[in-house]
Amino acid sequence: MKDFEEAQTALIEAIQKAWSWLNDSGYDIAKDTRFDEESPVAKALYSSLPVEELKGTGDSSSRMKTHCEIAFTQIVYSFVQKLSSEFESSSSNDSINRLYSLLDLAIGITELNLGDGIFAWIMLEHAMKLASLKLADHIFGFIESRSLILVANIDPRYAKGQTMIRTCNDLLKRLSHSYQTTLRGRVHVFIDNCTTLSDRSGINIAGQHNLANSTEYEKDIGEIPRTLDIFENKNLADLYSRFWSLQSCFVEPSRIFSEYGFSKYEENMRVVLENFREAAETRAPSAESSVLQNSTSDYNGNRLLFSKYLTCPKLFEHELLDPHFRCQFLTQALIVCRHLLGVDKNLKESMKQDKSVNPMVIHSFELTDSQIRSIKAIRERIVQQLGSTQLFNGHFGICAFYVNRHEKYWVEWKDEKCPVNELAPSPDKSSEMSDALDWFNTPKSPNNVEITLMGSKSHAKLCDTNLKDPSLVQGYHLDLSSAEDYQNKINASKGNSGTSEKPHNVDEWKLSRAIMAQNVTMLCTK
């Protein structure tokens, strides 16, 4: 134990020494992206760590790598905890840069074979778990900036890829759908770019349902007090029970053919959809009109509306008037219809005979012809109600329908055991694509790209001077076509009747630019 503590203490001091050396050497996080033998990170590590022992083989080298990982983890833990508490009050660029340099040391240990291949991702996982959401945004930005190195040769089936996916998924669990929408999207895009199109790491191969997602509601209620006169002739208590009981079928559709019963499901869906139709046709004094007016402003910057509705009976009357509430239920019901219509008897028999189909996704229940017709009728009513909604300028229903339809093809691909869709690269195009990839990965200087917003170099020159130094543009107007030249071209393009025989919008645009340029030039040459 004493030897272990001494080794840990020595390695902690060595890592901190390398960290201090890197920060004091003028290390630039944005520019110093190399991790070869001549990089600043390598010099910092080689000057402090026992490189020969870490690069060696045998039990002693394995123990040293374990000590190094534990020591590095302790440093990451203490610094990230301290930095997270500081971020609650104010953020410091110096502290952020110190964290980035520490994480670069972790990448350097991996790239220089001083540790395991997953060393960098383990440290990133530890840092992400301890960081506050504000700091986690910065850490993920660092991951994006080092993505070419971190995801090189990554495979989700092995330790490095699994650690990457686990780190990203843990972050997604902490992020709010409503307030961290942009960061969530960045994480999803990062994962997609790291995996192939046919990757199975995030797929529910067995088709298991999340039974832990249960909806609790009051099952025995006498009467719901009414606060609006819209549903005065309705039995809201009965409608309340029918509506919330359907959530158990949405969680596990197989219940429709077992304890819930198809006839009960069919009747409850009919009653709910009929009341939804009446609620949509009813103009509420304030509830629905205000929601519809604000429906286009549900998303603002990073914020989107993902409502979580309560099952309180007193709120049910108002929830029925909320188009978001109705559309959320209708979207759920549309997904269930697609799921049920994919298990008719003929299709099920063909799936059993097809050896390429995953047997775990073949359902134990079957639909009769009358049940299929009933579900199709329910689906038609759902699509009709979604199409008539005015949410998001009427686009919500169209998006819900097409996304659900496209999801069908993804489910079919999953049921077929996720066959690989990627094709081998064409030999004729390999070198061309390689050159294009090198060009995209090469940092570009803004000076290499000539952008002329004014339409020509001459116009841009006149605009850029902003009259600060008139001598720069004196005589420069001689290179420009005059406004009279453009006007003559426009007149020539017109017939005797004065109507245009061919489009001359470009000439008119040039005319306006020339007039502006001449006005500026007149001021400059006086």
pLDDT category at 492 given cuts 50, 70, 90 is: confident
Does 330 fall in a domain?
Answer: yes
Q: pTM here?
A: 0.60
pLDDT category at 466 given cuts 50, 70, 90 is: low
E strands, 381-495, where? none
Do both 410 and 518 map to the same domain? no
How many other CB atoms sit within 10 Å of the CB of residue 159?
13
Domain end position, chosen among 161, 194, 227:
194
CA dihedral 26, 27, 31, 33 (to 10 degrees): 160
Does 425 fall in a domain?
Answer: no
Decide: residue 341, CB within 10 A, 0-12 exposed, 13-18 middle, 19+ buried: middle
**Least confident span in 337-341, 418-422, 470-474:** 470-474
Do both 396 and 494 map to the same domain? no
Do both 376 and 308 map to the same domain? yes
Question: How far apart, in whole angstroms, are the C-alpha atoms of residue 133 and residue 121?
Answer: 19
Do both 23 and 169 map to the same domain? yes
Domain end position, chosen among 361, 381, 415:
415
> How remote is the C-alpha of 139 from its chain's centroid?
17
- The dihedral region occupied by 215, where left means phi > 0, alpha psi between -120 and 50, and beta the remainder, is beta
Do both 16 and 75 map to the same domain? yes
Domain that holds residue 464: 457-524
Does 384 fall in a domain?
Answer: yes
Domains held by the chain: number:
3
Does 173 fall in a domain?
Answer: yes
Q: What average pLDDT does the segment 472-496 reach?
A: 60
Q: What average pLDDT does the segment 219-233 reach?
A: 66
Does 202 fall in a domain?
Answer: no
Higher pLDDT, 150 or 520: 150
pLDDT at residue 139 above 90? yes
- pLDDT tens digit sequence for 399-444: 888 888 888 787 777 777 777 777 776 777 777 777 777 776 676 5
Do both 127 and 251 map to the same domain? no
Output the CA–CA distances (angstroms, integers) from residue 265 to 163, 244, 260, in the order listed.
43, 12, 7
Residues of 56-89 as b/e, b for ≥16 C-beta within 10 angstroms? eeeeeeeebbebbbebbeebbeebbeebbeebee
Output the CA–CA distances (angstroms, integers) from residue 197 to 37, 154, 180, 193, 421, in the order listed.
35, 14, 26, 9, 7
Strand partners, 303: 300
User: What's residue 409's pLDDT?
Assistant: 80
Question: How far apart, in whole angstroms, are the C-alpha atoms of residue 298 and residue 354?
Answer: 46
Do both 244 and 142 map to the same domain? no
pLDDT category at 446 given cuts 50, 70, 90 is: very low
Q: Is 456 within 8 Å of 463 (Cβ atoms)? A: no
Does 212 fall in a domain?
Answer: no
Question: How far apart, in whole angstroms, are the C-alpha atoms of residue 255 and residue 261?
Answer: 7
Q: What average pLDDT does the segment 469-487 reach?
A: 55
Higher pLDDT, 215 or 233: 215
DSSP state of 394: G
Position of tokens 């009050």? 89
Q: What is the DSSP string of 444-471?
A: --GGGS---TTSSHHHHHHHHHTTS-GG
Does 443 fall in a domain?
Answer: no
Do both 390 and 488 map to the same domain? no
Strand partners, 300: 303
How many other CB atoms sit within 10 Å of the CB of residue 271?
15
Domain end position, chosen among 140, 162, 194:
194
Residues in the chain: 526
User: What's residue 516's pLDDT?
Assistant: 57
Do both 52 and 130 map to the same domain? yes
Do both 347 and 484 map to the same domain? no
User: What's residue 449's pLDDT?
Assistant: 42
Q: What average pLDDT does the segment 351-371 reach?
A: 73
Retrieve residue 494's tokens: 């017109």
Higher pLDDT, 323 or 31: 323
Output the CA–CA distances (angstroms, integers) from residue 468 to 302, 471, 517, in the order listed.
40, 9, 15
Do both 9 and 103 map to the same domain? yes
The percent of residues in the chain predicted with pLDDT above 70, rounded, is: 71
Higher pLDDT, 133 or 495: 133
Do both 47 and 189 map to the same domain? yes
pLDDT at residue 169 above 50? yes
Does 376 fall in a domain?
Answer: yes
Q: What average pLDDT does the segment 220-226 reach?
A: 70
